[in-house]
Amino acid sequence: MLRQAVDLYTDMGRLNMAARQLREIAEAQEKAGAKAEACAFYEQAADLFATENATSEASRCRLKVAEASAELGDYARAGQLFEEVAAAAAENNLLKYGAKGHLLCAGICALCHGSDEEVSNRFERYREVDLQFAGSREAALLDGCAAALAASDDEAFSRAVGEFDGMTRLDAWKTAMLLVVKRRIGARQAGEEKGADDDDEVL
């Protein structure tokens, strides 16, 4: 029925309403655990919201896609989406203060899969995307985690995460993604780069 509503609203030219219906479908898929399907509907909703210049609504949908993509292991796609949302936010006077949070998420995604050189290059670019990023707690966390990953130092990683979490509580998504980074450090210590299945490990 919701898909029929999408078709009807689209035919009527009421794209904002069609986007809202698509978002509702995505939310239902997300609750059902169908993350890949939810991503597809969130993307469609984002495109329609963007067409209607509903920038904040489009960004919220893209952030949903980014989070789910990372949970599905597509860190490159997730990071790109976070970066795009951050760039758009940095250029908007009402949204610019949220840019560094999106860049933090993008950086965590980079740490999950990127080479040390790629991670370093991305973090330098983040400082150009948002001039307020340099010197922020978010930047300090990413720099600390990147240094720990490069040195295969799990204790330094835990310290960097602990210091940030003591000031700004990490949410469940960031915690889960940082555990992926911690497993990378463990894999490097063991001389191999492959993930583990222990999601219950404590940072």
Residue 195 lies in a domain: no
77, 69 Cβ separation under 8 angstroms = yes
How many CA atoms are closer than 13 Å to the CA of 75, on its beta-carbon side? 19
Residue 44 lies in a domain: yes
**DSSP 3-state helix, strand, coil percentages of the chain (rounded to 5)?**
75, 0, 25
Distance, in Å, from the CA atom of 147 to the CA atom of 87, rounded to the nearest integer, reads 25
Total domain count, the chain = 1
Residue 98 lies in a domain: no
Q: Which residues contact 12 (CB under 8 A, 6 or more apart)?
A: none
CATH number of domain containing 34: 1.25.40
Residue 93 to residues 85, 90, 98, 99, 123, Cα–Cα distance (Å): 14, 7, 10, 11, 23
Helices (H) then strands (E): counts for the chain:
10, 0
Average pLDDT for 172-193: 92
Residue 58 lies in a domain: yes
Q: pLDDT at position 200, please?
A: 44
Residue 7 to residues 15, 63, 108, 158, Cα–Cα distance (Å): 10, 24, 38, 50
Flag whether pLDDT at 145 surpasses 50. yes
Please report, rounded to a whole number, the percentage of residues in the chain having pLDDT higher than 90.
66
Q: pLDDT at position 98, please?
A: 92
Flag whether pLDDT at 178 surpasses 60. yes
Residue 62 lies in a domain: yes
- The full length of the chain comes to 203
Residue 57 lies in a domain: yes
Distance, in Å, from the CA atom of 62 to the CA atom of 151, rounded to the nearest integer, reads 33
Q: Helix or strand or coil: residue 14?
A: coil
Residue 161 lies in a domain: no
Phi then psi for residue 146, to 5 deg, are -65, -40
With bands split at pLDDT 50, 70 and 90, how would you rate the model's confidence at 18?
Answer: confident
Q: Which two tokens stand for residue 150?
A: 């490069």
Q: What is the dihedral of CA 173, 178, 179, 183, to 10 degrees?
A: 150
Residue 55 lies in a domain: yes
The domain of 61 spans: 1-72
pLDDT 10s digits, 56-92: 899 999 999 999 999 999 999 999 999 999 999 998 8
Phi then psi for residue 133, to 5 deg, are -70, -40
